[in-house]
Amino acid sequence: MSVIILGIESSCDDTSAAVIRDGVLLSNVIASQQVHAEFGGVVPELASRAHQQNIVPVVDTALKRAGVAKEDLSAIGFTRGPGLLGSLLVGTSFAKGLSLGLRKPIVDVNHLHGHVLSHFIRRKEDDDVPEYPFICLLVSGGNSQIVLVRNYNDMEILGQTIDDAAGEAFDKCAKVMGLPYPGGPHIDRLAAEGDASRFKFAKPHIPGLDYSFSGLKTSFLYTLRDCLKEDKDFIENNKADLAASLQRTIIEILMDKLDKAVRQTGVRTVAIGGGVSANSGVRDAVAAYCSGRGLKAFIPERVFTTDNAAMVAIAAYYKYLDGQFCRYDEVPYARVTV
């Protein structure tokens, strides 16, 4: 009999629901919240309220697009953390309520596991998926990690940021350039037209596989401060070169540690995941790195890089197959590592 999983994601500012049958994606609906734009960042209370408004129509649409009746579901997967507690509470409570009403089990999903396992979402039965073990460069708005993935439930963090995440480096530098939130996609767009060698920013010297991005941020700010003294329109006149140089530096920092991790572990497969893996420069750098060394690269479709319920559904699918269910007294958590 088929295993049909409804996935629900509500960890930050996207309400999403997806349906997966035997590992194959049937629907993935994402409602992004516009209310935060004018505040230059996500406002937690507004996010929870928007989730409450969105969750019923989003789940309903996902089931309809999949052509699945809710009674046919095998289980309901939901993001239990990490994320904003109020936002997580909406998805968690909805999943519990639906589970009680339908008498179907619930499966809790770690959002970061979801990002890593997004490579196992198949559009068709014979789509290629990674073989274990592989390394995943997990780069999102809140996390930057290098994860050794031995199995869907056996992951080891080899290195992680000791301060800002890669997405924060993009977003904070974009903010001082006056770009809208989140700044990452704007930097990506501007960088395509800029000279990446024009500006040199500081790079960290952190031992091992850990990352740091706060020095780069400070060096970016100092460059702007000095140049603005000479020319008040400096940012406007040089934004493409600034974006391209910033993006190049972030990619160099990421690739340096990824290369170390690959050499240390000897793995032959590299995957990327999280919002920053939508970045054109990051995608190209990882693809070129792997093809130059005969490694297999898994670069996710852009829709699976930022928050989406398809990755929650696939992570829940594997836990379901293992009989790992969630109790009703389990509550969301704000912070956790993979």
Residue partners of 107: CB distance under 8 A and separation at least 6 = 5, 75, 76, 77, 78, 316, 319, 320, 324, 325, 326
Residue 81 interacting with ligand KG4 (CB under 6 A): no
Closer to ligand KG4 by CB, 140 or 223: give it.
140
Binding mask 56-75 toward ligand KG4 (x if CB under 6 A, else -) reads: --------------------
Position among 9, 108, 188, 241 found at the interface with ligand KG4 (CB under 6 A): 188
| Closest by CA position to 93, among listed 337, 329, 334 | 329
> Does 141 contact ligand KG4 by CB under 6 A?
yes
Map residues 265-304 to x or -, x wherever contact with ligand KG4 holds by CB under 6 A.
---------xxx-xx-------------------------
Quickly count: other Cβ atoms within 10 Å of residue 67's Cβ. Answer: 11
- Identified binder of ligand KG4 from the candidate list 81, 91, 159, 182, rule CB under 6 A: 182
**Residue selected from 81, 159, 184, 332 as contacting ligand KG4 according to rule CB under 6 A:** 184
Cα dist from 286 to 69, 76, 289, 293, 296, whole Å: 40, 34, 5, 11, 10
Instruction: Give the residue with the Cβ less far from ligand KG4, 99 or 247.
Output: 247
Distance (Å, whole) CA 263 – CA 31:
40
Minimum separation from the CB atom of position 282 to ligand KG4 (A): 7
- To ligand KG4, the closest distance from the beta carbon of 291 in angstroms equals 21
Determine the Cα angle at 279 with ends 282 and 300, to 5°: 85
- Where does the chain have alpha helices with state H? 44-66, 85-102, 111-117, 166-176, 184-191, 214-230, 234-265, 280-293, 309-321
Least Å from the CB of residue 87 to ligand KG4: 11
H/E stretch holding 83 reads none
Question: Residue 306, interface with ligand KG4 (CB under 6 A)?
Answer: yes
Residues forming the site for ligand KG4 (CB under 6 A): 12, 140-142, 167, 170-171, 182-185, 188, 274-276, 278-279, 306-307
